Amino acid sequence: NNQINNQGASGLGSGLAKCINLSNLTLELYRNKIGAMGASGLGSGLAKCINLSNLTLYLSRNQIGAMGASGLGSSLANCINLSNLTLYLGNNQIGDEGASGLGSGLAKCINLSNLTLYLYENQIGAMGASGLGSGLANCINLSNLTLYLSNNQIGDEGASGLGSGLAKCINLSNLTLQLCYNSFRDEGASGLVSGLAKCINLSNLTLNLKQKQFICFGL
């Protein structure tokens, strides 16, 4: 909470771009005033860190919006050696466009094996959840995935779409999905689980599907 704005975040990115041998990076920038331009500027700098393999970004409770999330995803696609990624993007109003854009960028991170995404309280609907799932489906080396999507509005269609995307993550072995308070019921839960049933290498699964209305479905 240092009141870092777009200019500050972009400047930070410009500086990091010169760290050509950087392999491990953690940035704690939550609760600042970083918007779309700042997030994109930070991402542009990180895109030049070609040797980056482990990255953790704390950007929760800023104002990066859809453009910021998409820009960040596009930039991370250039980090070809990235294998471990954790993004804290909760409460940033990224919406459907931002979630889909982020997924499209991550789809190009072909060496990604461990991914954790905190996307709670972001006004993400069905299109965003499905788009995110479609993007992650291309992460062919992904083995460990944790998604925090609580307090959004993905609905039945979004839950099913997310499941369809994750069904294509053939190397996924450990999965945690936090989907509480997302306005889906039996249909969405069944669609989600039907998709996950196709993850043939899945060995550890944790699901939090708590909704405001009770879900009852069969496996």
pLDDT for the residue 1: 65
Residue-averaged pLDDT of the chain:
95
Residues 6+ apart with CB under 8 A from 194: 160, 163
State yes or no: pLDDT of 30 exceeds 80: yes
Task: Characterize the bridge pairing of strands 84-88 and 114-118.
Answer: parallel
Write out pLDDT tens, residues 135-161.
999 999 999 999 999 999 999 999 999
Q: Burial of 65 by CB count in 10 Å (0-12 exposed, 13-18 middle, 19+ buried)?
A: buried
pLDDT for the residue 117: 99
> Which of 36-40, 165-169, 182-186 has the lowest average pLDDT?
182-186
Q: How far apart are CA 41 and CA 167, in angstroms?
A: 33
State yes or no: pLDDT of 57 exceeds 50: yes
Q: 6-208: which CATH architecture?
A: Alpha-Beta Horseshoe (3.80)
Q: How far apart are CA 165 and CA 192, in angstroms?
A: 10
Q: Helix axis angle, 126-136 relative to 155-166, nearest 10°?
A: 0
Task: Characterize the bridge pairing of strands 144-148 and 24-28.
Answer: unpaired
Q: How far is CA 57 from the centre of its chain?
A: 11
pLDDT for the residue 213: 63
Of 200, 201, 211, the closest CA to residue 178 belongs to 211
pLDDT for the residue 84: 99
Write out pLDDT tens, residues 110-134.
999 999 999 999 999 999 999 999 9
Among positive and negative, which fits the CA dihedral 110, 134, 57, 148?
negative
State yes or no: pLDDT of 196 exceeds 70: yes
Residues forming beta bridges with residue 118, ordered by sequence position: 88, 148
Q: What is the percent of the chain with per-residue pLDDT over 70, rounded to a whole number? A: 96
pLDDT for the residue 217: 52
User: Is the full-model pTM beyond 0.85?
Assistant: yes
94, 66 in Cβ contact below 8 A? yes
Domain parsing of the chain, residue ranges: 6-208
State yes or no: pLDDT of 212 exceeds 80: no
Among positive and negative, which fits the CA dihedral 4, 62, 76, 98?
negative
Question: Within the chain, what is the greatest distance between any pair of CA atoms?
Answer: 54
Q: In the structure, what pLDDT confidence band is assigned to residue 219 with cuts at 50, 70 and 90?
A: very low
Q: What is the mean pLDDT of residues 166-183?
A: 96
State yes or no: pLDDT of 48 exceeds 60: yes
56, 27 in Cβ contact below 8 A? yes
pLDDT for the residue 216: 53
82, 49 in Cβ contact below 8 A? no
